[in-house]
Structure 1
Amino acid sequence: MNYLVAVLSDRIQAEGAYLALEEKGIKSTILGRGYKSADEFGFIDPKDQAKKQARLMTTWLIPFGFFAGFTFSLITGLDTFAWAGEIGNHIVGGLLGAASGAMGGVVVGGGGGLLFGSGDALPYRNRLDAGKYLIVVQGSEMLTRQSTKILRQFDPENIQGYADPSTV
């Protein structure tokens, strides 16, 4: 399955493009004010994905970090925290390792995506928030090529084709 996404500046252009596609028997979807939203269409919110990935990584890295910190303290025999005693030193080392694992899980798991966003879904969401309209066509490669020719007549701000990786 291929996707074609065209960004149009106003509602009249979007409706005109939709009707032109419909005349050729091509089904499309309009996204924007008064039509489907990004969530209704299924654009993944990159921040939600980043949070989920960070939680998953943190879940695995906190216990691993505790074990690594405890083991490092045990192997080296360092007496860094004299007030904690021998076993307490190892436990504090484990807690410090767990804290490092938590930080690593957030940074590696999704911190970049959480702060900066990722993928193409975010720019499309931003354009929808700015009052633009999207026309999305789903279908075969031949159908998206035919749709591209039709949509170019409406002078879109951007037109981008995608191949769904799950069907390749």
Structure 2
Amino acid sequence: MNYLVAVLPDRMQAEAAYSALEKEGLPTNQVDILGRGYKSADEYGLIDPNQQARKGAKRLLYWLAPFGFVAGYAFNLLTHIYLFPAVGDVGNHIIGGLLGAASGALGAVLVGGGVGLSVGSGDALSYRNRLNAGKYLIVVKGTQDLTRQATRVLRQFEPENIQGYAEPSGA
């Protein structure tokens, strides 16, 4: 499946472009308008970068917190640093492990969340930002020939951006 996304500055141009695509014979069930008064990014299924970042942070947390605990415990065991002399050897090792687990959790949030937010969303974040700015998207999905035909029609409206995507094959 191929996708074509065109960014148009206002509702009038988006509706005119949709009508032109309709007149050109493109099936209306394969053309969508996203923007105020039409489908939202969530309804269409654009990836929410915040959700992806949370998922990435959670995935890393499952690995880094236990690893951090073991590393913190081992570090305290080897260095014999007494943070609280009153709790004894084992207590200080456990406190070292807890501090290591906290460091691992912090790393998961910063790396998993930050990288997921900046990289994991692809172009979805820029499209969401444009929708939030009051712009409209025309999305055409279908064969390569259909998206090529839609590109020819949409170029007449001088979109701010026009981008084609090919869905990766399952193989």
Q: Which residue of 2 aligns with 1:78?
A: 80
CA-to-aligned-CA distance 1:133-155 (integer Å, 9 cap, x gap):
11000112221111111100111
1:71 positional shift: 2.3
Matches within 5 A, 1:1-168: 1-26=1-26, 27-74=30-77, 76-81=78-83, 82-114=85-117, 118-167=121-170
TM superposition score normalised by structure 1: 0.90
Deviations for 1:89-113, whole angstroms, at most 9, x for unmatched residues?
2111111110111011112211244
Q: Following TM superposition, by how much is the alpha carbon of 1:120 offset from its aligned partner in structure 2, in angstroms?
A: 1.0
Report if aligned partners of 2:53, 2:112 keep a CA contact under 8 Å in 1: yes
User: Cα RMSD over matched residues?
Assistant: 2.0
Q: TM-score scaled by structure 2?
A: 0.88
CA distance in structure 2 between the aligned counterparts of 1:118 and 1:42, rounded to whole angstroms = 12
> Unmatched 5+ residue regions in structure 2?
none
Aligned-pair identity in percent equals: 66
Structure 1, gaps ≥5 residues long: none
Contact 1:70 1:93 in 2 (8 A): yes
Q: Distance in 1 between matches of 2:70 and 2:94?
A: 10
Q: Which amino acid aligns with 1:105?
A: A
Q: Which moved more, 1:116-125 or 1:4-13?
A: 116-125
Seen in structure 2, the aligned counterparts of structure 1 residues 11 and 73 have a Cα distance that, compared at 3 Å, is same
